[in-house]
Amino acid sequence: MVFKPSQEFMAELLGTMVLILLGCGVVAMVVLFQATDPAIPGQIVNGGYTNITLGWGFAVLMGIFIAGTISGAHLNPAVTIALALTGRFPWAKAPHYIAGQFIGAFLGAAIVFAVYHAKWLGFDPGLANTAGIFSTFPAVPGFWPGFIDQVVGTALLMALILAIGDKLNNPAGAAWGALAVAFVVMAIGISFGGMHGYAINPARDLGPRLFALVAGFRNTGFENGVWLVPVIGPIVGAIVGALIYDTFIGKPLLRAGEALPGIKGTDPAYNAEHQR
């Protein structure tokens, strides 16, 4: 099937919007509906961070279901850039994919704020302390701790996306790939979420952060450069993850597939064209 750029743009926009609706929505649930009774803390009542990691994983899954057939559901500029850099995706399509991702993320954040508006103003009337519902902030001050975290997290994400989708590595990957990618995001959140909120996606972080700025939130991270970490780090990490996968897994599998083309599940023609 061949789709128009406008259709791919809308698929990425809607898929990323769903990602943010469900992802930022679960953070809003945990933060805005904290229990007021100290004996029953919100972390127990609402699931706390466990709910957040599960919610973001399911958000990715639903975003893939929305956009997967038309655009491949990148939903992430870092993924789009890494795929283009490694020859899996045409650079000519990158601008409308990335534009759709950022606009979808911005709109998703706006809808979350609209849904929770009354509760939000009761919880934080000055909009001074809740920008973190939309975007990520560092646990440790400075650029490098969060940057390293984002590079490692996004490298894991990108390498595992390629491993799941590689027909030479996982012949049945297409049947369960969306769920597997959702599990990857959950695992990264569980294992590496503390240092910088596991944005691992420039659009997921910057789109909602821009909405927070426009909507009048304070302490958004633009005033001190915090916003740069979850933009630069994921792009570097995705490229590193893709190159590591290709060097140590993808290309050896390609060579093995060319030598033994009869092995079930291999697709040497596709890999020879797209992974050299």
**DSSP string computed for 3-47:** --HHHHHHHHHHHHHHHHHHHHHHHHHHHHT--SSTTS-HHHHS-
Q: Is 104 part of a structural domain of the chain?
A: yes
Residue 269 forms part of a structural domain: no
Is position 212 within any domain?
yes
Looking at residue 2, its pLDDT comes to: 92
- Three-class SS state of 217: coil
Query: What pLDDT is stored for residue 47 in this prediction?
Result: 77
Check if the beta carbon of residue 237 is closer than 8 Å to that of residue 200: yes
Identify the pLDDT of residue 171: 86
Whether residue 275 is contained in a domain is answered as no
How many domains in the chain? 1
**What range does the domain containing 16 cover?**
5-262
Residue 276: per-residue pLDDT: 46
Residue 154 lies in a domain: yes
**CATH code at 91?**
1.20.1080.10
Q: Is residue 276 part of a domain?
A: no
- Positive or negative, the CA dihedral 77, 81, 83, 88 is positive
Residue 22: inside a domain, yes or no? yes
One pLDDT digit (tens) per residue for the chain, 276 residues: 899 999 999 999 999 999 999 999 999 998 998 865 555 555 545 678 999 999 999 999 999 999 999 999 999 999 999 999 999 999 999 999 999 999 999 999 999 999 999 999 999 999 999 999 999 999 999 999 999 999 999 999 999 999 999 989 988 777 899 999 999 999 999 999 999 999 999 999 999 999 999 999 999 999 999 999 999 999 999 999 999 999 999 999 988 877 655 444 444 454 455 544
> Is the distance from CB of 8 to CB of 70 less than 8 angstroms?
yes
Write the burial class of residue 167 (CB in 10 Å: 0-12 exposed, 13-18 middle, 19+ buried).
middle
pLDDT at 253: 92
Which of 169, 165, 191, 193 shows the shortest CA–CA distance to 79?
165
Which whole-number Å values give the CA distances from 221 to 62, 138, 186, 235, in the listed order?
A: 28, 10, 25, 19
pTM: 0.91
Any domain includes 273: no
